[in-house]
Structures are given as C-alpha cells and as structure tokens.
Amino acid sequence: MTSQWALPLLLAAGLASWGFFHVVPTRGDRAFLAYVLIAVAFYIQSLRNGTERPATFTALVAAEYAVSTLLFTILYRLSPWHRLAGFPGPLWLRFSALPRVILTFTGKRHIILDNLHEKYGDFVRIGPDVLSIRRRAANSVVYGSSMDKPESYATPGHLPSNSLFFKPPSREWHANRKKIWAPAFAAAASSSSWYIPVLERRAWDFLHCVEMRQSRSPDGFIDLSRALGHWAYDFMSEMLFGGCGNLGLMHSDDPEDIVEGGKLAMALWDCLSPSPWLVDLAWHIPPGKNMVRLREDCAKKMVHRVESSDKVLVPDLASYWLNAEEHRPTLEDMKVDAVIAQQGGSDNTAITLSLAIFFLVTSEHGASIAKLRAELDEAFADPTGTLNLDVLGQLPFLNAVIQETLRLGTPFYLPRQVGPGGVMLDEKYIPEDVTVVQAAWSLQTSPEYFFPDPQLFRAERWLPEGLGPGSQIDKSVAYSFSNGAYMCVAKSFAYQELRFMLARLVLAFEFEMAPGFDAVRFRDGILNMRTTFLKHPLMVRARRRPGIVIPDAV
C-alpha cells in the first residue's frame, strides 16, 4: 500500500464499516475478534512483502482504520440527517453510548437525567438512538403492547438459553414463560400460601441474627442493610430451590461475599448495557467474573435441584418450572431463570426494607415509626403472634410507608424499543428501533404529581386525607415494578413479603441510629445501578420491645 492511496483506502474502509455496523447488528466480542484477526493477517502480509518495521506499520494502519470508522460514525450521529436530530440533548451524549456508560457508573443517573429534563424539556436525546421521556402519558405507550426490550437486555454471554427477564425471542414466548411463573407467585401471594411458614421461620431467624451480630459488635450497632441482604438471599434461595438452597448467610455473615458479588454483577451489566458490545467483552475478561460467578452458582443449584426432584416434599418455585405441562423450560433456561429469581427476588426486597427502616427512624424525629407501631399494635394484640396477610394488606399506614419507600427508592431505568412504523407520543413522532425510557425518578419526585415536599419521605401523602389542603398525589405515577407485558410477575408477592417483614421488625424491635449518623449524608450516598449500593452503612441498634419473646426458628 503506497502512501498516496493509504489514506483514501482507509477512509473508504471506515465508511464501509460504518455502513455495515449501521445496518447489521454485530456482537462486540465477534467484532473485536475480527478486528484482531484482520490486523494479524495484515501483519503477516507485511512480513511477506518485506515492509519496513511491519509491526509499527500494522499498528498505524489498524489505528487509522479504527479512527476512520469512529469518525464517520460520530459525524453521522451529530449530523442533521440523523433521525433524532430534531430532539434536544447535550452534545456529549449524542455521539456515543460510552458517556452513558460512565454516567451510569456514577450511581446518580436518575438525578443527572432529571437535571437534563429541567434544561431541555420532556423529550431529551441521551444517546445516539435513545430518548428519555418525562411525560406521564408515555407510560401506556412505552410499556404498552407495541414495544419490546432493546438489545441492552440481551442475555450476558449470549448463552444458549432464554429467560423471563432478558430480551425474549418473541412476545408469544414471553407470554408462555410468564404463564409458568405466574401460578407460583399467585400462590405465594395468597394468605394460605405454603410459602408463609418459610417466610415466618426465616423472619424469626433474622431477628435472632440481628441480636447475634449486635452481641458481637463492640458498640452494639450493626449494618442492618447487610444483614437484610443475607436474610433475603437465604429466604429466596429456599423459596427457589427448597431444601437444595440452604445458604446460611445469616449465620456465616457471607464470608465469600455472595450477596455483594450478585450486586456487582447486576451493576456491571446495567452500567455496560448501554453499549452491548462492552457486555460481550466483559463476559470474557476478569471484570466480568461476578456475572459469570452469579450464573454458575445458580446453575449448580438448579442442576442439584433437578437431580433431587424425587425427594422434594414441599413445593418451591423450581417445582412450577419442572412440572410445567406446556412450554416447559429447558435446563439451560432454568439455570438463567434461577439467576433472575435469586438476585431479583432478594436484592430489591432487602434494599426496600433497609430504606423503609431508614426513613421511618430518621423522618420527623421518629414520629413515622411510632405511628406505624401504633397501627400494628392495634391490629395484632400479640406482637409475636401470627401475622395475617389479609389484615396486613388492609393497614393504611403500613402500606403507605411501603409505597413512599418505593417511590423514593426505585429510580429505575427501564428502556424499551419502538416497534415497526414508529410511534406518535403526544405531538412527537419517534422512529422505529429507537430506544425510549420513561424518566421514572423525574415523575416520581415531580411536584405536579406529589405535592408538597416531593423529595421528602412523607408516608401520609398516600392516606385518604393526604398532606392537607392542596396536596397532590397521582398513584399511576409509579414504576417500581414496571408496567405492561413486562411487568414484574412477582409484584403481589413482593408486597406481601415487604408488609410481613416490616411489620415483624417494627413489632419486635425499637431502633436507634448510631451516634453521629448523618441522614443527609446517608441519603446522598445511595447509588442506583439496577441494584442499589449504600456508600455509608446503615448502622442501627435494635432493642427488643418490653415483653417480646422471640421464638426459636425451627
């Protein structure tokens, strides 16, 4: 290749590559492998041609080709001919998905997007082909029947399996798989569910766990959020795998950091998913080891559960998969579904309970938790007696506390892909294949829908009388469990679980924050990346209320 033709050829190659990748979706790991193989072939050919310093020459050509491809890609994305050119948004988010990856790693994506909406309006371009929408009316459109999950929901590692959570092969497939899951959680959400004895036993186990850890703590304070994470994993593992899923994290304190590893896996996936090719690459390198480990741990338990099917006497979630009469999942599918059930069913519950305790104890100088305890004492004469799920479901303030915690604690980012033909949303036309996402945090903390004090925890806003004259609340503006076809199948059960555990904790214990605990600093340190991280531990001391005798967990 002569210097006269080198630059034009490299520019032509870059233009052709941009055109190819613009039309043909390509896995990141395969594209990278092809790039490396072509570079190696070019190097070998340079050796054969007697090129001076072939390694340097190959590196230079490879770099120039990559720059050429990126140049054409960026120019198109910033051009007036791009299909989203008419939507406002910051320049730094338009040219690549990588800035959105960095933005997600901050844990403050929801706040940054909220600030962008304040500056640019209800429709903001936050990626080359991504729109964030701050319109309540968008809910039925974005999460309705016409939109599917985008490529960012592709199963990490491109495993030969399908899952209820990741991008499904089709809507029909998703509906059939959901029919298998739904009876399990419908049964779990009933007041006569066979899950209740497990939940009751694990709840008593947790109360003992709290006291055990406090007795070992030099000052009597413990990280309650960490303990709740261990409880949730233990409970969900038993609920999922039955006797094959005994982790014992409450007693061992999770020396292998199973819970933290699961959170890191979800965070890494969420942060990299704006650029699916990064997820493809991460699966093969050390930073992605938590994603691989989470999948392998659940896969081993699932295999053990399948092998022990003839010994299972009490139903579990896996029973519904294994006993499905139609569209029974393959073993590979069940391995991935097990990851989703284990991680999704434990992590969100643990963090919601943690935040509920935080808000209750620190809001209005403890008046909120006193009000909740009074409501529970009136409903249950024996604080250690049976907690009837139907009664819990009718307690106004208990349910208000949970709703308010979910409102402030779930700034979820749930993208969808516009279907063929595009869609009209109010006065805006959005082309097909564009990714759209509802700005959940912006809506859930908007004074238009939650007034007054939309940023503050005030559970009374969910009661019939609200917060007094002029108060506003729109119960339809809630995205904690998503909506539409992809709504969380375990929503009803999750509410039952949250009511039960929060009631059990408040009936049994009085809570005290550690000396020097800064509520503002703690809340500023809440980071959301699909999962939620707490930069500062929730240091709490729990004291038994007078006369409380905690039964031994059997």
CATH of the domain at 531: 1.10.630.10
Residue 98 within any structural domain of the chain: no
pLDDT tens string, the chain, 554 residues long: the values are: 444 555 676 667 666 775 666 666 666 566 677 777 777 877 787 778 777 787 887 787 777 777 778 887 888 889 999 999 999 999 999 988 899 999 999 999 999 999 999 999 999 999 999 999 999 989 888 987 779 999 888 877 677 788 888 888 888 898 899 898 888 887 655 655 778 888 999 999 999 999 999 999 999 999 999 999 999 999 999 988 887 767 899 999 999 888 998 898 889 889 988 887 777 777 766 656 766 777 788 888 888 888 888 777 778 888 889 888 888 999 999 988 888 899 999 999 999 999 999 999 998 888 999 999 999 999 999 999 999 999 999 999 999 999 999 999 999 899 999 999 999 988 899 999 999 999 999 999 999 999 999 999 999 999 999 999 999 999 888 888 888 888 888 888 999 999 999 999 999 999 999 999 999 999 999 999 989 999 999 999 999 999 999 988 65
Residue 442 within any structural domain of the chain: yes
Q: Is residue 63 domain-shared with residue 174, that is, in the same domain?
A: no
Which H helix or E strand runs over 72? helix 54-78
Q: Is residue 188 domain-shared with residue 74, that is, in the same domain?
A: no
Residue 90 within any structural domain of the chain: no
Q: Which domain holds residue 517?
A: 151-544
- Give the pLDDT confidence score for residue 187 in this predicted structure: 65
Residue 121 within any structural domain of the chain: no
Q: Is residue 47 domain-shared with residue 180, that is, in the same domain?
A: no
Residue 116 within any structural domain of the chain: no
- Give the pLDDT confidence score for residue 206 in this predicted structure: 98
Number of Cβ atoms within 10 Å of the Cβ of 196: 18
Do the Cβ atoms of 241 and 316 come closer than 8 Å?
Answer: yes
Of the three residues 78, 108, 143, the one that is the final residue of a domain is 78
Distance (Å, whole) CA 258 – CA 234: 11
- Give the pLDDT confidence score for residue 146 in this predicted structure: 76
Contacts of 318 (CB under 8 A, 6+ apart): 240, 241, 242, 302, 305, 306, 334, 338
- Give the residue ranges of the annotated binding site for heme: 488
Q: Is residue 265 domain-shared with residue 407, that is, in the same domain?
A: yes
Of the three residues 78, 94, 122, the one that is the final residue of a domain is 78
Q: Is residue 158 domain-shared with residue 257, that is, in the same domain?
A: yes
Distance (Å, whole) CA 194 – CA 196: 5
Do the Cβ atoms of 454 and 446 come closer than 8 Å?
Answer: yes
Distance (Å, whole) CA 200 – CA 552: 11
pTM assigned to the model = 0.90
- Give the pLDDT confidence score for residue 52 in this predicted structure: 78
Q: Is residue 285 domain-shared with residue 197, that is, in the same domain?
A: yes
Closest CA to 541 of 316, 213, 311, 274: 213
Distance (Å, whole) CA 202 – CA 231: 7
Which H helix or E strand runs over 284? none
- Give the pLDDT confidence score for residue 196 in this predicted structure: 86
- Give the pLDDT confidence score for residue 156 in this predicted structure: 76
- Give the pLDDT confidence score for residue 7 in this predicted structure: 60
Distance (Å, whole) CA 82 – CA 171: 29
Helix (H, G, I), strand (E, B) or coil at 123: strand
Residue indicated by tokens 């759209």: 436
- Give the pLDDT confidence score for residue 419 in this predicted structure: 92
The DSSP secondary-structure symbol of 329 reads: P
- Give the residue ranges of the annotated binding site: 488
User: What angle is formed at CA 112 by the lines to CA 488 and CA 345, rounded to 5 degrees?
Assistant: 20
Do the Cβ atoms of 498 and 357 come closer than 8 Å?
Answer: no
Of the three residues 78, 104, 134, the one that is the final residue of a domain is 78
Q: Is residue 39 domain-shared with residue 183, that is, in the same domain?
A: no
Residue 105 within any structural domain of the chain: no
For residue 295, give both structure tokens: 């999948």
Q: Is residue 333 domain-shared with residue 218, that is, in the same domain?
A: yes
Contacts of 176 (CB under 8 A, 6+ apart): 326, 327
Q: Is residue 210 domain-shared with residue 305, that is, in the same domain?
A: yes
Residue 115 within any structural domain of the chain: no
Q: Is residue 164 domain-shared with residue 262, that is, in the same domain?
A: yes
Number of Cβ atoms within 10 Å of the Cβ of 194: 12
| Domain count along the chain | 2
Q: What distances in angstroms separate CA 442 from CA 67, 111, 271, 379, 464, one per listed residue?
A: 37, 8, 20, 36, 24
Q: Is residue 327 domain-shared with residue 428, that is, in the same domain?
A: yes
Residue 454 within any structural domain of the chain: yes
Q: Is residue 380 domain-shared with residue 290, that is, in the same domain?
A: yes
- Give the pLDDT confidence score for residue 502 in this predicted structure: 99
